[in-house]
Structure 1
Amino acid sequence: MTSSRPSIVNTSLSTFAPPPASPQSPRKLRKFQSHQTLTSTSFSTFGQPPATQGVPARQRGALANAAPHDTPSDAQLDSAGRHHSRQRARSNSDTGSSLATPLVTAPPKARRPARKTGSSGYFLKRSGLETFLRDGPADGKLLETLQELRLMVLSNKVDADSDGMSTHRIYLWLVLFAIPPLPTDEYLNLVHRGRSPVYTKIRNDTFRTLATDPLFKRRVTEASLIRLLNAVAWKLHDTQNAKPRSRPSSRRKELLELAIDSPPTIAEEPEGDPGREMSGAIGKGAIYVQGMNVLCAPFLYAARSEVEAFTLFHYFVTKECPGYVRGAMDGVHKGLRLVDRCLEIVDPKLASYLFSKGMQAELYAFPSVLTLCACTPPLPEVLHLWDFLFAYGPHLNILCIVAQLNCMRDAIMQSDSPNKLLRSFPPLEADKIISLTVSFIQKIPDDLYGDLVDHAK
């Protein structure tokens, strides 16, 4: 999370690559070229061709869209600039004269630029986001271009079909988080290590992940979800159990030399001992908590490969919201208290009514805080909301929850038992939630806003 108002997020961009091809089968581990391999063959300056460096972005886009016309080669032109006529002898089945009949080939027609079409066959204009991701920052103005990208996300939806699938969304997220490419082999190595210490816990949760969402079930298999969560668990386990490399002092060196012949204690058990791995994972913090499966689901749904989803999800739980996945879930509980505090400022009457009924956020908002509203369908609207959150900071999810309460205001105020209404929120309307959230930001005092930014650390 960032430490200021939502106009500031990570300010570095990673080299960006064209999207890989779609997977042939969702039940197989998708075998794409790694992002690193793709970017190594792409342009050196964020996809900007060397021949067009320094050219305004609009002109670069026009140049990139233009397709060269086919022209006859030198071998096809004679000295007069005319096409050679091609002749063939008539076959034995042909009637008439046995003389060869000239067959003149028509000059090649100018080929139109390739056009993208949707399922209906209508021409689809290249989106501004696609042009931005292809051309990169103009004239090296990184910060200005990032701000332009955020405004683009805020003012326009990311182009997607009715299922919420977009060719560019996953790369937009990678850019906004400034995540470098990850070699595919690194993910495969984690998968091939087999079951992590929390494998059983993962299997107890994955089968019910967005179980009532047909879009998710049609695209994402339980096996891919298990692989990804298990790989993240191994990665967190390795990080927590890594031995710090420090140079021992002379006194410590003497103690170590004296202890060489002494029997090992529990703390000095061999590193490969499975009991030590389990105790390390529990003592230093959980490597999996219930709810991570739902938080992971949209990443896997939107990504074009498991490697991309793994890279994003691991970064998110370790850099953006590490407090959400620690054993005690401190960040989630802080977020719940912030929901109550923000609601008191934004809508004091509604907050007072809920408090009078004993309805604090801890009783109804825990899933929404932990999963960034991914627990509320429909999934395409969740992805649209995440575009906004990743552009301006995931901490704004707290205000998004307040916005959902504001949308339910009339029904809540007229209900004698609001707990029944708050057991499940109404279907998500991302545009409305984003609009309300932006309007709420100005009402939040600076000290409270600082708490929003820091609550998931």
Structure 2
Amino acid sequence: MAKPQPSWYLGGPEAPSSPRTMRTLRKIQSHQVLTSSSALIAQTQSSYPSGARAVDGSTAAQPSAAIRAPTRRPRSNSDATTREVTPAAPAPTQRRPARKTGSGVGIKRSLLENLVRDGPQNGDTHEALQELKYLVLSTRVDADGDGMSPYRVYLWSILLNVSPVPTDDYLALVHRGGSPAYAKIRNDTFRTLATDPLFKRRVTEASLIRLLNAVAWKLRDSKTRPRSRPSSSRRREMELLVNTPPSIQEEPDLDDRGSVHSTAVSDSAIYVQGMNVLCAPFLYAARSEVEAFALFHYFVTKECPGYIRGAMDGVHRGLRLVDRCLEIVEPKLAAYLFSKGMYAELYAFPSVLTLCACTPPLPEVLHLWDFLFAYGPHLNILCIVAQLIRMRDTLLESPSPNKILRSLPPLDAKDIIALTVLLVQKIPNDLYAEMINHAK
């Protein structure tokens, strides 16, 4: 079956030949945007009115009609039973006339939603992508109290540059039955965000099992599939951009929110403990398992493959970066924690591995991920540092900061993002480059 044509956000004829090169360039460009003064002004704004200036100083363009995201509809949550109660219609005396919009929908859409739905103006995907990132930074994705948004999954697909996956391809993986990692998956899924009522109400354990098992099959197939010899130009590019993955050693055991336990390593890296928590927000935000599968598989294989190797070398590099960044931006706090033997490897392992998905509440995790997918998941390192800075006084006053760091305070995505953008300016370029590549 031929793969579907990619959406408007995928590269056209002028796109670089290497997706990895494209991702690296986009992250470097994001760094330049975040370190500019205009970006710092933008992130403090609470709204983005029509006609306001974009990050580059140009007037925000109204996107033209192109490929539209699917309209609002209930999420197909596989075998989950429907728990939502349909609200009763208001009395005639309470009904208000709907506001008119260009699409005929009764509720006025935000600029961010319009851009996601309508696509770029005049086919200029680069300018539209920059505007989309600016809107993510300066506004929040429209969502209800549970963190649900009808267009967030499409926003993530655009920002991560993920093509749709045919449903039949996903079903074929599911119908293959249990993968070699099936027993480990079943041992983890029941405790995934077990204390989060929003997640448990919306996502079934069966959905988690199917998706993780399908990804395990996909990863196993990629290990056993014979590889063709690359061309000379492609080989030179790989030598410059691709690091040889280290050998599989050990992996830590994690509880329902990612706390570390010791355990023996499995004979394969098609699944490591902690992938269940990293997968959870994708399943929660997506409108189908297939959408979540496409996003999650891309993310763990392209954005953070070092996180899911048996040795989790990318996670350990990230932990060292947390200590180094904290030492630069908040030397007094870093010195105090180090004097107490509190290094990031003792308290930040779950936060690095899961991009802070281990810290509730889940709706704030989703808002934080909007920012991370727009400007690069590597910024999660600074998001963790930002959380420590927000706890600075409490930590400095405590004779036993290890007790406080056993569980981080609830996420406040808006404040963490604002502080993270300020911290970007203080990070030296060479250290920032290490952040970009630490998960590869």
Aligned length: 333
Give, in whole Å, the separation in 2 of the partners of 1:172 and 1:348: 37
Give, in whole Å, the separation in 2 of the partners of 1:293 and 1:177: 20
Structure 2 equivalent of residue 17 of structure 1: 69
Aligned AA (2:380): N
Give the % identical residues: 69
Counterpart of 2:170 (choices 173, 181, 187) is 187
Assess if the C-alpha contact under 8 Å between 2:351 and 2:359 holds in 1: yes
Task: Classify the secondary structure of the residue corresponding to 1:157.
Answer: coil
Structure 2 equivalent of residue 424 of structure 1: 407
Assess if the C-alpha contact under 8 Å between 1:289 and 1:325 holds in 2: yes
Residue 4 (str. 1) matches residue 56 (str. 2): no
Q: Which runs of 5+ in 2 are unaligned?
A: 1-22, 34-65, 83-99, 231-264
Structure 1 equivalent of residue 334 of structure 2: 351
Structure 2 equivalent of residue 360 of structure 1: 343
Residue 296 (str. 1) matches residue 296 (str. 2): no
Structure 2 equivalent of residue 208 of structure 1: 191
Shift of 1:388: 0.1
Give, in whole Å, the separation in 1 of the partners of 2:416 and 2:156: 20
Aligned AA (1:370): L
Task: Classify the secondary structure of the residue corresponding to 1:4.
Answer: helix
Residue 224 (str. 1) matches residue 207 (str. 2): yes
For residues 74-98 of structure 1, give each alpha carbon's deviation from its aligned partner in whole angstroms, at most 9, with x where no partner exists: xxxxxxxxxxxxxxxxxxxxxxxxx
Give, in whole Å, the separation in 2 of the partners of 1:434 and 1:136: 26
Change (3 A) 1:321 1:114: closer
Structure 1 equivalent of residue 106 of structure 2: 115
Counterpart of 1:448 (choices 410, 431, 437) is 431
Change (3 A) 1:231 1:426: same
Structure 2 equivalent of residue 434 of structure 1: 417
Q: TM-score, normalised by structure 1?
A: 0.70
Task: Classify the secondary structure of the residue corresponding to 2:212.
Answer: helix
Structure 2 equivalent of residue 142 of structure 1: 125
Give, in whole Å, the separation in 2 of the partners of 1:211 and 1:341: 33
Assess if the C-alpha contact under 8 Å between 1:7 and 1:147 holds in 2: no
Structure 1 equivalent of residue 297 of structure 2: 314
Shift of 1:216: 0.1
Task: Classify the secondary structure of the residue corresponding to 1:354.
Answer: helix
Aligned AA (1:115): G
Shift of 1:129: 1.6
Structure 1 equivalent of residue 114 of structure 2: 131
Structure 2 equivalent of residue 263 of structure 1: none
CA RMSD of aligned residues (A): 2.3
Give, in whole Å, the separation in 1 of the partners of 2:377 and 2:275: 16
Aligned AA (1:127): S
For residues 355-401 of structure 1, give each alpha carbon's deviation from its aligned partner in whole angstroms, at most 9, with x where no partner exists: 00000000000000000000000000000000000000000000000
Assess if the C-alpha contact under 8 Å between 2:76 and 2:288 holds in 1: no
5 Å-filtered alignment, 1:29-40, equals none
For residues 35-79 of structure 1, give each alpha carbon's deviation from its aligned partner in whole angstroms, at most 9, with x where no partner exists: xxxxxxxxxxxxxxxxxxxxxxxxxxxxx9447xxxxxxxxxxxx
Assess if the C-alpha contact under 8 Å between 1:15 and 1:180 holds in 2: no
Give, in whole Å, the separation in 2 of the partners of 1:23 and 1:348: 47
For residues 221-267 of structure 1, give each alpha carbon's deviation from its aligned partner in whole angstroms, at most 9, with x where no partner exists: 000000000000000000001123569xxxxxxxxxxxxxxxxxxxx
Residue 407 (str. 1) matches residue 390 (str. 2): yes
Aligned AA (2:359): T
Structure 2 equivalent of residue 394 of structure 1: 377
For residues 293-332 of structure 1, give each alpha carbon's deviation from its aligned partner in whole angstroms, at most 9, with x where no partner exists: 0000000000000000000000000000000000100000
Give, in whole Å, the separation in 2 of the partners of 1:114 and 1:309: 27
Task: Classify the secondary structure of the residue corresponding to 2:174.
Answer: helix
Task: Classify the secondary structure of the residue corresponding to 1:6.
Answer: helix
Q: Which runs of 5+ in 1 are unaligned?
A: 31-63, 68-112, 117-124, 248-280
Give, in whole Å, the separation in 2 of the partners of 1:408 and 1:358: 17
Give, in whole Å, the separation in 1 of the partners of 2:344 and 2:77: 42
For residues 117-138 of structure 1, give each alpha carbon's deviation from its aligned partner in whole angstroms, at most 9, with x where no partner exists: xxxxxxxx21112211222111
Give, in whole Å, the separation in 2 of the partners of 1:134 and 1:378: 28
Change (3 A) 1:318 1:338: same
Structure 1 equivalent of residue 358 of structure 2: 375
Assess if the C-alpha contact under 8 Å between 1:129 and 1:158 holds in 2: yes
Give, in whole Å, the separation in 2 of the partners of 1:29 and 1:176: 31
Task: Classify the secondary structure of the residue corresponding to 2:217.
Answer: helix
Assess if the C-alpha contact under 8 Å between 1:298 and 1:374 holds in 2: yes
5 Å-filtered alignment, 1:151-166, equals 151-166=134-149
Change (3 A) 1:369 1:167: same
Task: Classify the secondary structure of the residue corresponding to 1:286.
Answer: coil
For residues 119-169 of structure 1, give each alpha carbon's deviation from its aligned partner in whole angstroms, at most 9, with x where no partner exists: xxxxxx211122112221111222111111000000000000000000010
Give, in whole Å, the separation in 1 of the partners of 2:110 and 2:294: 26
Aligned AA (2:79): R
Structure 2 equivalent of residue 27 of structure 1: 79
Give, in whole Å, the separation in 2 of the partners of 1:399 and 1:26: 36
Assess if the C-alpha contact under 8 Å between 2:152 and 2:285 holds in 1: yes
Give, in whole Å, the separation in 1 of the partners of 2:191 and 2:152: 26
